[in-house]
Amino acid sequence: MIFAAEVDIWRYQPHPEVWLLVMGAIVLAVYAVRVVGPHAVPAGQPVVSRRNVVAYVLAIVALWGASDWPLHDISEEYLYSSHMLQHIIISFIVPPLLLTATPEWLARLIMSPDGRAGTWIRRFSHPVVAGVVFNLVIAVTHLTNIVNTSVNNGIFHYLVHLVVFLASMMMWIPVVGPIHELRMKLPGQMVYLFLNSVIPTVPAAFLTFADGALYEVYDHPVRLWGISVVSDQQAAGVIMKLVGGMYLWSWIIGRFFQWHRAELGDRPDLFLVPTPDVAPLDADLTYEAVQAEFDRTDPAPSDN
């Protein structure tokens, strides 16, 4: 069955499952900070930092905005470009914010190598595994049958988003994970992020240069803002390649400057151009200085 879009585009549709998800995430965070944290953190040390709190609030707001009305309804019923924007938020915005929001003590409890969950997380967050799985998930979720089924089946749609989110969390751990020994070194992070910005070029080009409708669920007469189905697909490709790519490149540039500052901190003279040991040009010229310079110079060879 192919989904038919409603004519009343801006009708409000409540999503209680999203509200429950957001409330559950907030309750778990409060429980971890108020109940678990005081027993895991030495006395006198803060359970969470201001940076953790700000990052968590931003992550929850971004997750809610991507999953609730109106973006969710527009992406599910009218525009595939909105669907792509949804995926960008879920895969590129929310995961690094959540990892930044996670204090190290909590991350070590969750990812303990002695536990089964921690063992699997460490395996799947290995840069090679995480990069391959993430790009495979991105490629698969753009297949025609997957997109058509996810729009027609709400449970499958949320399952797809869950898989994209989990694969993205694993992908970001080597870059911004709260456990420092699981992070790659800064040059490695730059190469890793660059590779993850190259692979999505394939589905992005597939969307941008397609002549007709790729996903029949979005090929309906109800057109939001008068955007045609082909223009919608092209916009989705631009969002995937340019917006997603520029976002990853902003991380690469940021990591480059971090590495540059770190190198300068270890070797403050590393990037300085050496200057010869000569007297300043405006120094007073004296007979003694001239004579000393002659004494240090080898005599000219004789013509005999």
In the predicted structure, residue 182 carries a pLDDT above the cut 90:
yes
Confirm whether 287 is domain-assigned: no
Using CA atoms, how far apart are residues 166 and 241, in angstroms rounded to an integer?
21
At residue 294 the predicted structure's pLDDT band, cuts being 50, 70 and 90, is low
In the predicted structure, residue 130 carries a pLDDT above the cut 50:
yes
Query: Residue 243 is part of which domain span?
Result: 16-266
In the predicted structure, residue 228 carries a pLDDT above the cut 70:
yes
Confirm whether 154 is domain-assigned: yes
User: Does 95 or 8 have the greater pLDDT score?
Assistant: 95
Closest CA to 33 of 98, 96, 106: 106
Give pLDDT, residue 270.
Answer: 47
The percent of residues above 90 in pLDDT, for the chain, comes to 62
Confirm whether 281 is domain-assigned: no
Report the pLDDT averaged over residues 36-51: 93
Confirm whether 53 is domain-assigned: yes
Give pLDDT, residue 37.
Answer: 95
Confirm whether 284 is domain-assigned: no
For the chain, the domain total comes to 1
Query: Of 3-12, 190-199, 239-248, 255-264, which gets the smallest average pLDDT?
Result: 3-12
Confirm whether 1 is domain-assigned: no
Token pair of 295 as six digits:
């004494």
Please count the CA atoms within 13 angstroms of the CA of 239 that sit on its side-chain side: 18
Give pLDDT, residue 205.
Answer: 81
Report the pLDDT averaged over residues 215-242: 90
Give pLDDT, residue 85.
Answer: 95
Confirm whether 272 is domain-assigned: no
Give pLDDT, residue 121.
Answer: 95
Q: Give every CB contact of residue 152 below 8 A, 6+ residues apart in sequence.
A: 1, 2, 3, 217
Task: Give the CA-trace dihedral at 244, 250, 251, 257, to 10 degrees.
Answer: 170
Q: What is the CA radius of gyration of the chain?
A: 28
Q: Measured over all CA atoms, what is the biggest interatomic distance in the chain, rounded to whole angstroms? A: 107
Closest CA to 141 of 193, 74, 90: 90
Contact 94, 63 (CB under 8 A): yes
At residue 1 the predicted structure's pLDDT band, cuts being 50, 70 and 90, is very low
Q: Ramachandran region of residue 226, left (φ > 0), alpha (ψ -120 to 50) or beta?
A: left
Closest CA to 52 of 95, 91, 97: 97
Token pair of 261 as six digits:
């500052």
Token pair of 287 as six digits:
């007979």
Confirm whether 296 is domain-assigned: no
Report the pLDDT averaged over residues 279-293: 59
Query: Of 34-43, 149-158, 188-197, 257-266, which gets the smallest average pLDDT?
Result: 257-266
Using CA atoms, how far apart are residues 238 and 257, in angstroms rounded to an integer?
27
Give pLDDT, residue 8.
Answer: 73
Q: Where are the alpha helices (DSSP H) in 177-243?
A: 186-198, 201-208, 229-238
